[in-house]
Amino acid sequence: MNIVVCMKQVPDSETRVKIGADGKSLDLSSVNFVINPHDEFAIEEAIRLKEKHGGEVTVLTLGPDRAENDIRKALAMGADKAVLLRTEGDFQGDVAIALAEQIKTMGSDLVLFGKQAIDEDSSQTAQLVAEYLDLPCVTVVVKLDADPAAKRLTAEREIEGGTEVVELPLPAVIGTQKGLNEPRLPNLKGIMAAKKKPLEKKEPVNQASKVETVGLELPPPRAAGKMVSQGLDGVPELVRLLHEEAKVI
């Protein structure tokens, strides 16, 4: 199976983000970047499918040169090669179109995404790419079985209060969810091997997005807590406030 994993580099979830001077983009100086955590499940699953069924795993990333760090990590985990659709500054084009146009040239049996990127939380790139490629798409997948000979996939997806089991033909687009697997750490031999694996850099197809970001705002700072009293004496007042002000009891 030839598998493409779409991976995004995102700010570490512990980052305290700042809004840039233009008021509509993030100030990314002094930000620590990581592989989008949901994409790690996709990378791991792709490597496991390759280990089971053979084939090749290609990591596809749209982003600036700094994304190369995390691409190498994915290669060290066991992906075979990578393509970086190189951007400079804030990419104004349509990300899904850029990815889909690249995937069309790659002849893949399966395209894996994390179910969403934790930076913008749009949760739509996998679905849009599937639409542009005219392929079936299943998201929030927690179990995946492939039968490459029959060109079929069986997937389990999380739904409210339960699990849905679906079948679909290959090629297909899958969005992965936590629980699918436990992503491996790369080992040191993998890190050495990753240096020699091919990484192709090219310009993305840049078709203007119809959605424009016009502003970003941070949530309002959290107000200080209120100290009612200390010890048992405070209980009646606490109950009154929970009932009358907070209205939770």
Partner 1 sequence: MAKFKGVDYYDIDTLLSEEERLTRDTVREFVDDQILPVIEEHTRNCTFPKNLVPKMAELGVFGANLPEEYGCAGMNNVSYGLIMQELERGDSGVRSFASVQGALVMYPIFAYGSEKQKKHWLPKLASGEKIGCFGLTEPDHGSDPGGMKTKAVKDGDHYVLNGAKMWITNGTIADISVVWAKLDGEVHGFLVEKDTPGFTAPEMKGKYSLRASVTSELVLQNVRIPAENILPNVKGLKGPLGCLTQARYGIAWGAIGSAMACYDASLNYALNRIQFDKPIASFQLVQEKLANMVTEITKGQLLVLQLGRLKDKGIMKFNQVSMAKRNNVDIALTIARVARDIHGANGITDEYPVIRHMLNLESVKTYEGTHDIHGLIIGQSITGIAAYA
Q: Taking CB under 8 A as the rule, which mask of x and - marks residues 56-75 in contact with partner 1? A: ------------xx--xx--
Q: Does 37 bind partner 1 (CB under 8 A)?
A: no
**Listed ranges 49-57, 119-127, 151-159, 181-189: which one lies at the site for partner 1 (CB under 8 A):** 181-189
Backbone angles phi, psi at 58, to 5 degrees: -115, 130
Task: List the one residue from 16, 189, 196, 210 that touches partner 1 (CB under 8 A).
Answer: 189
Could you tell me if 126 and 137 are in contact, meaning their C-beta atoms sit under 8 angstroms apart?
A: yes
By the rule CB under 8 A, 186 interacts with partner 1? yes
Least Cβ distance, residue 118 to partner 1 (angstroms) = 16
Nearest distance, CB of residue 191 and partner 1, angstroms: 5
Binding-residue pattern over the window 192 to 211 for partner 1, x denoting contact by CB under 8 A? x-xx----------------
- Only segment of 41-49, 105-113, 148-156, 187-195 that touches partner 1 (CB under 8 A): 187-195
- The reply to whether 95 sits near partner 1 by the rule CB under 8 A is no
Which is nearest to 239 in space by CA: 248, 230, 227? 248
14 binds partner 1 per the rule CB under 8 A: yes
Strand 162-169 versus strand 9-11 pairing type = unpaired
Q: How far is CA 174 from CA 36, 96, 216, in A?
A: 16, 14, 30
76 binds partner 1 (CB under 8 A): yes
Q: How far is CA 82 from CA 2, 62, 183, in A?
A: 13, 11, 18
Stretch in the footprint of partner 1 (CB under 8 A) among 146-154, 186-194, 214-222, 237-245:
186-194
CA separation for the pair 182, 163 (Å, rounded): 19
Integer Cα distance of 144 and 168 in angstroms: 11
Is 31 among the residues that bind partner 1 (CB under 8 A)?
no
Region near partner 1 per CB under 8 A, out of 19-27, 190-198, 213-221, 226-234: 190-198
According to DSSP, the β-strands at 26-27 and 18-19 are antiparallel
- Identity of the residue, 73 or 86, whose beta carbon is nearer to partner 1 in the bound complex: 73
Tracing tokens 């994390």 back to the chain, one arrives at: 114
Strand partners, 214: none
Cis omega (within 30 of 0) on the bond before 171? yes
Query: Rounded to an integer, what distance in angstroms lies between the CA atom of residue 95 and that of residue 92?
Result: 8
Residues binding partner 1 (CB under 8 A): 14, 32, 68-69, 72-73, 76, 185-189, 191-192, 194-195
